[in-house]
Structure 1
Amino acid sequence: MYPQFIFATGIENSYPTVAGRRVDQMEACGHYRHWREDFALVRELGLSFLRYGPPLHRVWQGDGRHDWEWTDQAFAELLRLGIVPIVDLCHFGVPDWVGDFRNPDFPALFARYAGAFAERFPWVQLYTPVNEIFICAQFSGRYGWWNEGERTDRGFVTALKHLVKANVLAMEAILERRPDALFIQSESSEYFHAVNPAAIAPAEAMNQQRFLSLDLNYGRRVDSGMYEFLLDNGMTRDEYHFFLGRHLRRHCVLGTDYYVTNEHLVEADGRTRAAGDIFGYAEITRQYHERYRMPVMHTETNLLEGPTGGEAVAWLRKQWANALRIRNAGIPMLGFTWYSLTDQVDWDTTLREANGNVNPLGLYDLDRKIRAVGREYRRIVEEWSSVLPTHSHSLVLPVRPLGEHG
């Protein structure tokens, strides 16, 4: 076992379809050209864990048809370097032949893909089958930004139920091949603040909806208002009871993502705008832990480097302090992640515009030069790695050494 707290980074592998064009962050950020160097940078930071996944739209050529050539090389290098991947199998998009998240066949198809991946890479133990389900369903089905481009509650529920079912079936398929697999479900931790008394009702509804992806994923019964919301927008009783009948929590870690955009101000008419960092990561994660009573991992955060170069460093220090606060309160906090390794492209418009804007969010820039936040993260990892396992109020994730599997 690895008797250690998990310090991680990630390599952004989003690939949604936006207005008919595929937006591939691995291509935009140069990872296909620099993947060996990128993996070496992970080790340079002193990290042994990486949130990472192959590009689904390139690998998954059809039901039962896969192009593993590049993935075989990349994962062989991870194994050689001793980097433990937390494998992200679906990140905001599907191949063209699947269509989009309205396709009711997607969950079963994706489960077969997940099973094929687990068979090909039996040494992989950690997975995020479907990344940020709530955000993907919001952006694709309710905001009209990605993939199916719908702008309705029904579009949101349709995407949500198919994404969660795909995640659940994928976990089951992976466990058939690797019974000790562990699932770190990276999900956006949100909060909606009412700006006045007239906004309390819509804010309360949004604060219930933020939990729906995880409620369904972990088989937690929703309250009566959310049950009516789901049924009014296309979920059937049988579909709802499918989720209640699964018992996968014991294989899971609750991964919570937090950005400065995760808190929202809500108007009386339901309109929202950014609130900034009001409650903060520790308080919102406490709410999620109180609901699910599961081990937690901080799975994403970042901030623009800023005009002085110190804004991202200050944000990292604040998020790390929040993670330590959670641990000191007795909540089992298993890991921390700055996401991602390198800068990203066009996230300032949530990938909706192809401007080629480089967003300085990474530990390294796109020339693979370390940023100030990268140096600070390396310092935190070096100084805290040997302390946390022995001065810990949390569990240790039972991760086997690479190459060892049941």
Structure 2
Amino acid sequence: MSFKEDFLWGGATAANQHEGGYNKGGRGLSTFDVVTGGGYKVPRKVTFKTANGKIGAVPVDSTMTGPVPENSTGYIKENTYYPSHEATDFYHHWKEDIALMAKMGFKCFRMSISWSRICPNGMYEINEEGLKFYDLIFDELLKFGIEPVVTINHFEMPMYLADHYDGWLSREVIDFFLFYTKTIFERYKNKVKYWMTFNEINVLSGWCQIGVHNNNPQNLYQAHHHIFVASAKAVKLGHQINPNFKIGMMVSYTPSYPMTCKPEDVMEAIKFNRQKEFYMDVQVRGYYPEYQLKKFERENIHIKMEKDDLKIIENETVDYIGFSYYMSTVSSTDPNAKKTEGNQFIAYKNPYLKTSNWGWTVDPLGLRIALNQIYDRYHKPMFIVENGLGAKDVIEKDGTINDDYRIEYLKNHIKAMKDAVELDGVDLIGYTVWGCIDIVSAGTGEMKKRYGLVYVNKHDDGSGDFSRIKKKSFNWYKNVIQSNGESLDNY
């Protein structure tokens, strides 16, 4: 048994990395609108204004926490490059981009809605022009038979809520989020079937992503509790509005192997894997697991809950599990073990695997392992909503972009995915290549680190005319989709 006939092949992007038009069409400011560009080993910065009027900037670390000083507000500095302001300008190129997706034969397109484009300050004001913009997007996708897959909140929030409510640390933000969610559920109830509440919920932290200034463990887990409640209430709300909605969660999934067969290393791997299993346990199984409650007890973390919170979480679990997979890591008790870069974290280096130019471990078999680990634990349908290779692409003299390295990466991961379906029997509903069209890297803020199957003429100094060029991987992926995953060597 291979992939289902209705398997959802496609690509994925995020509003703050692809959309642009940050001050167009009535949109309010988002937290990522004050995050500067950066580079490999060069951290991005958050620019802010303090209560006494001082303007400053602080580095954003590899986990995107954004250590913004207490009581400060996001601030856009003159003569400073902010990648999200234009990103790769989907705001003006959406028709062209969707036409390219259609030529590749996409069955689905994963994207996010910008909360501040719908509710400019994140609260109870609705921006009709923003709603109409996404109407155009969904109508165009559906015209080509492309199923929209929408992330409701992807790594950003309205800056007003971060500045004035300390983001998700405030219980009130749950109601603001549900107003926004109800607005888009009702508006697009006949256009969008597949939804995910929060992107990579297990790595959400700090001012940039969740609006919290002081990212200490107490604040972080209190904010995450509010996010859990908001997500569960959104699931209930969505099913009331349209019972045919499929509403999922989304995690960053990086399996960890013990560095050695030393029992202590095995235990370290168990503890590392719990960092993502916790978030799936809450949203899929519907409860706080015992190991996490013990962690709270050890670390003197006390979560303030209202009386019905746990019942809401228990009753309103998700329909499917969406996850990103880029790499694996290893766990070790050796403080001198070599380290490398990772997706939102620093990882231990696996001596048996190669790394990308940005230091990410390349491990196709790890995707099959991840699929088995998730399915064995939860027995829920799964959706791989991010997988891709960030690399420096070169335009040849004849105008071609020969990204065989990307094709090789994707091919090997799809083979592993295919084995998980055919040999292991996992229930997989779709696969979306991350950054199907070049977008700004969330971690580094670079354009040089490209993921797309389509090249966008935009560069790290802000220059470029946003023209689109098909890469070699474009036609290769078109053949993959046409063959439903059977033609992987045709390039």
The TM-score with structure 1 as length reference comes to 0.82
Kindly tell me: are residues 371 and 68 of structure 1, through their superposed partners in 2, closer, same or farther at Cα, counting changes over 3 Å?
Answer: farther
Aligned equivalent of 1:10: 12
- Are 2:438 and 2:451, in contact at CA under 8 Å, matched by a contact in 1? yes
Aligned equivalent of 1:296: 382
Aligned counterpart for 2:277 among listed residues 193, 205, 211: 211
Q: CA deviation at 1:209?
A: 1.9
- Are 2:330 and 2:348, in contact at CA under 8 Å, matched by a contact in 1? yes
Aligned counterpart for 1:342 among listed residues 423, 433, 437: 437
Q: CA deviation at 1:227?
A: 1.4
Note if 1:129 corresponds to 2:131: no
Q: CA deviation at 1:103?
A: 2.3
Q: CA deviation at 1:225?
A: 2.4
Aligned equivalent of 2:170: 103
Kindly tell me: are residues 66 and 16 of structure 1, through their superposed partners in 2, closer, same or farther at Cα, counting changes over 3 Å?
Answer: same
Kindly tell me: are residues 4 and 113 of structure 1, through their superposed partners in 2, closer, same or farther at Cα, counting changes over 3 Å?
Answer: same
Note if 1:381 corresponds to 2:381: no
Aligned equivalent of 1:393: none
Q: CA deviation at 1:87?
A: 1.3
Kindly tell me: are residues 145 and 160 of structure 1, through their superposed partners in 2, closer, same or farther at Cα, counting changes over 3 Å?
Answer: closer
Q: CA deviation at 1:319?
A: 1.2
Query: Structure 2: which amino acid aligns with 1:60?
Result: C
**Cα deviation 1:344-392 (Å, max 9, x = unaligned):** 2244xx14xx5x53322111011321112222211100112799xxxxx
Aligned equivalent of 2:112: 53
**Cα deviation 1:181-219 (Å, max 9, x = unaligned):** 102333211223444645554443222121121111123
Q: Which runs of 5+ in 1 are unaligned?
A: 388-406
- Are 1:209 and 1:226, in contact at CA under 8 Å, matched by a contact in 2? no
Query: Structure 2: which amino acid aligns with 1:287?
Result: Q
Aligned equivalent of 1:396: none
Q: Give, in whole Å, the separation in 2 of the partners of 1:319 and 1:94.
A: 32
- Are 1:295 and 1:333, in contact at CA under 8 Å, matched by a contact in 2? yes
Q: Give, in whole Å, the separation in 1 of the partners of 2:220 and 2:7.
A: 36
Aligned residues: 374
- Are 2:13 and 2:439, in contact at CA under 8 Å, matched by a contact in 1? no
Moved more, 375-384 or 157-166: 157-166
- Are 1:220 and 1:244, in contact at CA under 8 Å, matched by a contact in 2? yes
Query: Structure 1: which amino acid aligns with 2:141?
Result: L
Query: Structure 2: which amino acid aligns with 1:130?
Result: F
SS in 2 for 1:234: coil
Q: Give, in whole Å, the separation in 1 of the partners of 2:331 and 2:15.
A: 29
SS in 2 for 1:66: coil
Q: Give, in whole Å, the separation in 2 of the partners of 1:155 and 1:199.
A: 30
Q: Give, in whole Å, the separation in 2 of the partners of 1:296 and 1:219.
A: 15
SS in 2 for 1:65: coil
- Are 1:26 and 1:32, in contact at CA under 8 Å, matched by a contact in 2? no
- Are 1:316 and 1:373, in contact at CA under 8 Å, matched by a contact in 2? no
Q: CA deviation at 1:81?
A: 3.3
Q: CA deviation at 1:89?
A: 1.2
Aligned counterpart for 2:241 among listed residues 134, 154, 177: 177
Moved more, 190-199 or 334-343: 190-199
**Cα deviation 1:307-355 (Å, max 9, x = unaligned):** 77321111110111111111112111111110122112244xx14xx5x
Aligned equivalent of 1:357: 447
Q: CA deviation at 1:38?
A: 1.0
SS in 1 for 2:483: helix
SS in 1 for 2:6: coil
**Cα deviation 1:155-179 (Å, max 9, x = unaligned):** 4323322222222111111112111
Aligned equivalent of 2:150: 87
SS in 2 for 1:299: strand
Aligned equivalent of 2:310: 241
Moved more, 175-184 or 18-27: 18-27
Q: Give, in whole Å, the separation in 2 of the partners of 1:13 and 1:372.
A: 25
Aligned counterpart for 2:418 among listed residues 324, 328, 332: 324
Q: Give, in whole Å, the separation in 2 of the partners of 1:244 and 1:54.
A: 24
Kindly tell me: are residues 189 and 177 of structure 1, through their superposed partners in 2, closer, same or farther at Cα, counting changes over 3 Å?
Answer: same
How much is the aligned-residue C-alpha RMSD, in angstroms? 3.0
Report which of the two structures shows the higher radius of gyration computed on alpha carbons: 2
- Are 1:343 and 1:363, in contact at CA under 8 Å, matched by a contact in 2? yes
Kindly tell me: are residues 199 and 101 of structure 1, through their superposed partners in 2, closer, same or farther at Cα, counting changes over 3 Å?
Answer: farther
1:161-172 to 2 correspondences below 5 Å:
161-172=225-236
Query: Structure 2: which amino acid aligns with 1:153?
Result: P
Q: Give, in whole Å, the separation in 1 of the partners of 2:248 and 2:470.
A: 27
Aligned counterpart for 2:95 among listed residues 11, 33, 36: 36
Q: Give, in whole Å, the separation in 2 of the partners of 1:315 and 1:117.
A: 36
SS in 2 for 1:360: coil
Q: Give, in whole Å, the separation in 2 of the partners of 1:208 and 1:201.
A: 11
The TM-score with structure 2 as length reference comes to 0.69
Kindly tell me: are residues 204 and 151 of structure 1, through their superposed partners in 2, closer, same or farther at Cα, counting changes over 3 Å?
Answer: farther
Kindly tell me: are residues 223 and 82 of structure 1, through their superposed partners in 2, closer, same or farther at Cα, counting changes over 3 Å?
Answer: closer
Q: CA deviation at 1:49?
A: 0.8
Q: Give, in whole Å, the separation in 2 of the partners of 1:127 and 1:76.
A: 16
- Are 2:31 and 2:209, in contact at CA under 8 Å, matched by a contact in 1? no
Aligned equivalent of 2:124: 64
Q: CA deviation at 1:16?
A: 4.6
**Cα deviation 1:265-303 (Å, max 9, x = unaligned):** 444569952542455101022111111111112111110
